Chain A
Amino acid sequence: MNKLKKIISVFLFFILPMMASAELVVEITQGADNPTRIAVPPLGGSLLPEDVSDIVAADLKRSGLFDPVPKKNMLSFPSNPKQVYYRDWSILDTEYLVVAEASRGPSGYSIDFALLEVHSRRTVFKQTVEGSTDRVRDLAHYISDKVYEAITGIRGAFSTRILYVTAIPNAQQKLTYRLMVSDADGARERMLLESKQPIMSPAWSPDGREVVYVSFETGRPAIFRQSLATAERQQLTNFRGLNGAPAWSPDGSKLALVLSKDGNPEIYTFDLSSRQFTRLTRHFAIDTEPNWTPDGKSLIFTSDRGGSPQIYKLSIDSGKVERLTFKGSYNARPRLAPDGRTLVMVHRDKGLFHIASQDLVNGDLRVLTQTRLDESPTVAPNGAMLLYATKKGSRGVLAAVSLDAGVKFLLPARLGDVREPAWSPFLN
């Protein structure tokens, strides 16, 4: 049997669902040059509360690598490999076909799905996935992940989530700040925190179950930790001056963060069990925006110690600091792709702020975006795309670009200002 069973793990959110009108809506602005033609006909079997085939097709389309066949062009709606009449699909230039059938399982829904290659008339794989009745979107994203991985060889990241901050002004131009979480496609938006004081710098724990962020609710910036499942939260810092830029270590034991309690912004680690702070930088310049290398042995960070903001790497054991960026007069807010080799950052070019990537092995710098106030890049856990914040008109919106710059899409909220996306780790 090549059928595998997988139970979708359930993350319970005791958090307030927001109105659909606040949800992010995806607009694809640029796809890959030769996207793969794929068809996802409607599911057979039990009727599900959401259209799984639409969700799967939208996931694949959003990756930019696929061009799903519109339902209205399909000549038949097979729901298992036996029902497939391949000529119906070769005539539509379809390369791949996803067929699926739903049934009511013991604890929810069960979906049997298969990926078929049209030209060779071959079943690539068959699988069964089960999940509770309120997790139909999770089932759909799981199918998308498996199909994407089978065709591209890259693990799918459709089952991940994103954190972001919204700021909405009232009639008196006073802002209300909200920390939000949604699926990677912008659906199922939930609020984690609301405040009249700024909220910034959200980041995930490596297991995806907690978040850290900076909130000004006490009248000063302070770092908080919050559980997604229980909404339980804890204030971690309360120093005079900056308390900022928290970044969870890959092993989950520490945060890197910025404090200016000694008079100047410096990078520290904070051990979450011993609650000890360890100061890592000693320089009169601004040192900020630390982030961990995937091996947890070094931090990359922004410093203006050379006269302009540039990105440096600090070895935690030896304390050795090495400058990584040399092109341009403003390189800041570094993040590393999961390969540890591709650095992404905010890069200023001719007065405009773009997202750029730099290959740390050969030094090649590549500007990935063309808009003018791009910031806060965050790389998907599979390294295929990054999300960032930009402006569309006068509004802050989230946008995505593939690491090869070939695919772009926008995730504009219908109203208000969205900023500081943070892409979750893999959650399943």
Chain B
Amino acid sequence: MKTQSIKLGLCAALLSLLMVGCSSTSTTDGGTETLPGDSVSTGMVGGSGVSGSGGAADDLARIADTVFYFDFDKAILKPESRAALRLHAQNLKGSSRAIRLEGHADERGTREYNMALGERRGMAVKEFLVIEGVSASQIEVISYGEESPAALGSDDASYALNRRVEMK
């Protein structure tokens, strides 16, 4: 459960550099036993790209495409996304599988406005799937706005990877 990755700072204050994490252990992979100094020592927000799928591919590859990209400030599906989503719709129709559509935005613009924009993108994918015959009750749209970027850079290439809907 993701709730276990939360820990409240309900710990006794320990002076000295030997900082110890919360005594209520959590299951975070960052490790509560790690010194905060360690966890921040890797804290570079670099431009290293996280590669995403997308682009031209044949139908077999497209069925594996679960990330759909958008233009700046737009929530309109691109032709390659439509083709892939038609194949997803074929698979989802008649199945009882529930899917999550996670909508994302790039970092430009305000955070809560980008939450709304991420939701619009998720809704655009949902509406397309529903038109293709998938039941709306199988689909939940969740926006992450600009809060969970796929690429951490502040450049056009990173932005293009971040304006997306991920199907899960």
CB proximity of B24 to chain A, nearest CB, Å? 12
Does A245 reach chain B (CB closer than 8 Å)?
Answer: yes
Does A220 reach chain B (CB closer than 8 Å)?
Answer: yes
Does B154 reach chain A (CB closer than 8 Å)?
Answer: yes
Given contacts A217-B3, A242-B119, A373-B108, contact A17 B13 (CB under 8 A): yes
CB proximity of A12 to chain B, nearest CB, Å? 11
Does A2 reach chain B (CB closer than 8 Å)?
Answer: no
Q: Is B115 within 8 A of A244, CB to CB? A: yes
Q: Is B120 within 8 A of A286, CB to CB? A: yes
CB proximity of A200 to chain B, nearest CB, Å? 6
Q: Is B10 within 8 A of A14, CB to CB? A: yes
Note all chain B residues with C-beta closer than 8 A to A216: 2, 144, 147
Interface residues of B in 1-18 (CB under 8 A from A): 2-3, 5-11, 13-14, 17
A22, A241, A330: the one within 8 Å of B141 (CB): A241
Q: Is B116 within 8 A of A242, CB to CB? A: yes
CB proximity of A113 to chain B, nearest CB, Å? 29
Interface residues of A in 331-367 (CB under 8 A from B): 332-333, 346, 348, 353
CB proximity of A237 to chain B, nearest CB, Å? 14
Looking across the interface, which residue of chain A has its beta carbon closest to that of B148? A198
Q: Is A415 within 8 A of B41, CB to CB? A: yes
Q: Is B113 within 8 A of A288, CB to CB? A: yes
Given contacts A19-B17, A286-B116, A286-B120, contact A330 B109 (CB under 8 A): yes
Does B142 reach chain A (CB closer than 8 Å)?
Answer: yes
Note all chain A residues with C-beta closer than 8 A to B120: 286
Does B133 reach chain A (CB closer than 8 Å)?
Answer: no
Does A238 reach chain B (CB closer than 8 Å)?
Answer: no
Note all chain B residues with C-beta closer than 8 A to A201: 111-112
Q: Is A170 within 8 A of B30, CB to CB? A: yes
Does A219 reach chain B (CB closer than 8 Å)?
Answer: yes
Most chain A beta-carbon neighbours within 10 Å: one of B47, B109, B147, B152? B147
Interface residues of B in 127-148 (CB under 8 A from A): 140-145, 147-148
CB proximity of B17 to chain A, nearest CB, Å? 7
Q: Is B44 within 8 A of A288, CB to CB? A: no
In whole angstroms, what is the CA distance A333 to B110 when docked?
Answer: 7
Q: Is B39 within 8 A of A176, CB to CB? A: yes
B13, B22, B43: the one within 8 Å of A415 (CB): B43
Does B167 reach chain A (CB closer than 8 Å)?
Answer: no
Does A218 reach chain B (CB closer than 8 Å)?
Answer: yes
Does A83 reach chain B (CB closer than 8 Å)?
Answer: no
Note all chain B residues with C-beta closer than 8 A to A240: 140
Q: Is B9 within 8 A of A333, CB to CB? A: no
B10, B37, B116, B147: the one within 8 Å of A15 (CB): B10
Q: Is B44 within 8 A of A169, CB to CB? A: yes
Does B117 reach chain A (CB closer than 8 Å)?
Answer: yes
Does A87 reach chain B (CB closer than 8 Å)?
Answer: no
Given contacts A242-B115, A242-B116, contact A375 B110 (CB under 8 A): yes
A17, A168, A233, A420: the one within 8 Å of B43 (CB): A168
Tell which of A116-124, A188-196, A378-386 binds the partner: A188-196
Q: Is A288 within 8 A of B153, CB to CB? A: no
Does B50 reach chain A (CB closer than 8 Å)?
Answer: yes
Looking across the interface, which residue of chain A has its beta carbon closest to that of B20? A16
A17, A220, A241, A289: the one within 8 Å of B110 (CB): A289
Does B36 reach chain A (CB closer than 8 Å)?
Answer: yes
CB proximity of B137 to chain A, nearest CB, Å? 11
Q: Is B9 within 8 A of A15, CB to CB? A: yes
A228-263 vs B, CB cutoff 8 Å, 1 = contact: the mask equals 000101000000111011000000000000101000
Q: Is B112 within 8 A of A194, CB to CB? A: no
Most chain B beta-carbon neighbours within 10 Å: one of A171, A173, A288? A173
Given contacts A195-B5, A396-B45, contact A302 B110 (CB under 8 A): yes
B60-87 vs A, CB cutoff 8 Å, 1 = contact: the mask equals 0000000000000000000000000000
| Between-chain CB contacts (< 8 Å), 21 pairs | A16-B10, A17-B13, A17-B14, A19-B37, A21-B40, A173-B50, A176-B39, A193-B9, A196-B2, A196-B5, A198-B148, A216-B144, A233-B8, A242-B115, A242-B143, A258-B115, A309-B110, A309-B113, A333-B111, A353-B109, A373-B154
Listed from nearest, the 3 A-B pairs whose CB atoms lie closest are: A198-B147, A16-B9, A416-B43
Supply 9 further A-B pairs (C-beta < 8 A) apart from A18-B19, A373-B154.
A17-B13, A21-B36, A169-B42, A169-B45, A192-B9, A194-B7, A219-B142, A258-B116, A260-B116
